[in-house]
Amino acid sequence: MVRTTSSGPPFRLPGKHFAAALAFLSLAAAGAVVQAPMLALGGYSTMPVLAVVHLLTLGWLTTSIMGALYQFLPVAVGVPIASERVAHASFALYVPGVLAFTAGLAAHRPMLLLAGVTALVLGALSFLGNVSVTLRRAPKRDVLWWSLAWALTFLAVTLLLGASLSANLHLAFLGVVRPIALGAHLHIALAGWVLLSMVGVSQRLFPMFLLSHGGSDRYAVWAMRLVAAGAGALALLHHVPIAGRWLPALLIGAGVVAFVLQSREFYAHRHRQQLDAGMRLAAWALGGLASALPLAVVVVAGRASPRVQVAYVALVLMSVSAFVVAHYFKIVPFLVWNHRFGPLAGTRPLPRVSDLYSARGAQLVVALLVTGAVVFVAAVALGWGGGARLGASAFAAGALLTAGLMLAISRRTP
């Protein structure tokens, strides 16, 4: 039995996004194991490595955010998604598009790559339009609203830069500035799209999951403003030699600090003292983001070797991925319980939300993801190919275990 709220969509819509995202995470993690020795050599611009990165960013992170917004946004802003039909259509375009695009990258198949870019851009644009209309109808415009509005803006910028870089593979019009454009594309995607989405969504999810009340949101306001300003400066000034590097870096770095401080505020004011595996993993992920800031300074200063550059990007990607995994352990069990067990409340004894998955399994996920990330980043920075593969394997095991646990949760019925 499936129950829907007056504004929330059926579980099938976010559910299939989460399932596809977990499949992308599993593929990306396996690809990282294969490419680990190349990454330990500093080879970040080969086509197979770029395919793995896009499986993480376009596949895992973006599809997860899409699914989360379809479920979360109607409840948060008080209006339903503008069109569920468009949401399903965008999924049907976007997910096969990402698969075709990354396969075309990895296999050097230009036509497959072009078909994938076309499909995923159309799917992403329909998602953008659908969620933008939903936001426009919202009666209240707070830090959540503005964070998501800016995040959607930078998703559009990311798609534009990505399409240009895809065209450059055949036309080579970027020339020697391709590495600069590639770096701008990656950082606008991670800061402008992913991080701003995290800032906005965390304003509602952290207080709910931590039972945190009474803290201020002043740091979140600054996090939103600083990250948006930094991503905007990077989009406009990335071709300017000095200002195009340092101004966006300082703004985004300050925004990351503000986001960490806001998250610390939620943790400090929590009424649930015993942290579950998901919230511990989220804390570890925030620590990973903070730890990436010193590496970012070295990279922006132009003093980082290719290996250190790879280590920096890997630390950011793995930390953000762990942050999203942490929320899967809260969101997916809640949705399954709400839609399948909730309607039976009061009629029979029911399990708690936390009973829908193995606590030991979740703890093992935390251990594997954190250990894998630390070993992988350190090994890449040191140029140790075997260590990089070991760390990537541990992280991949954590990703696969996460997918297995989420599948088991999705099958739970009264």
Q: Say if residue 2's pLDDT is above 80.
A: no
What's the pLDDT tens digit per position in 269-317? 998 788 999 999 999 999 999 999 999 999 999 999 999 999 999 999 9
What's the pLDDT tens digit per position in 209-259? 999 887 678 899 999 999 999 999 999 998 888 888 999 999 999 999 999
279 DSSP β-pair partners? none
Average pLDDT over residues 398-411: 97
Q: Sign of dihedral through CA atoms 301, 151, 25, 86?
A: negative
Q: How far is 240 from 56, CA to CA, in rounded Å?
A: 29
CATH 1.20.210.10 applies to domain 12-344+352-410: yes
Average pLDDT over residues 36-57: 94
Cβ count near 386 (within 10 Å) = 11
Quickly state the pLDDT bin for 168 (edges 50, 70, 90): confident
Q: Say if residue 328's pLDDT is above 60.
A: yes
Which residue from 59, 47, 42, 35 is spatially nearest to 169, judged by alpha carbons?
47
Average pLDDT over residues 387-395: 98
What's the pLDDT tens digit per position in 195-215? 999 999 999 999 999 998 876
Backbone angles phi, psi at 115, to 5 degrees: -65, -40
What does the pLDDT read at residue 311?
97
Q: What's the pTM? A: 0.95
What does the pLDDT read at residue 1?
31
List all residues 6 or more positions away from 302 whose beta carbon is below 8 Å from its beta carbon: none
Q: Say if residue 3's pLDDT is above 50.
A: no
Q: Sign of dihedral through CA atoms 211, 195, 325, 407?
A: positive
Average pLDDT over residues 149-153: 98
What does the pLDDT read at residue 293?
97
CB distance 329 to 323 below 8 Å: no
Q: Sign of dihedral through CA atoms 281, 381, 249, 101?
A: negative
Average pLDDT, the chain: 93
Question: How many residues appear in the chain?
Answer: 414
What does the pLDDT read at residue 166?
85
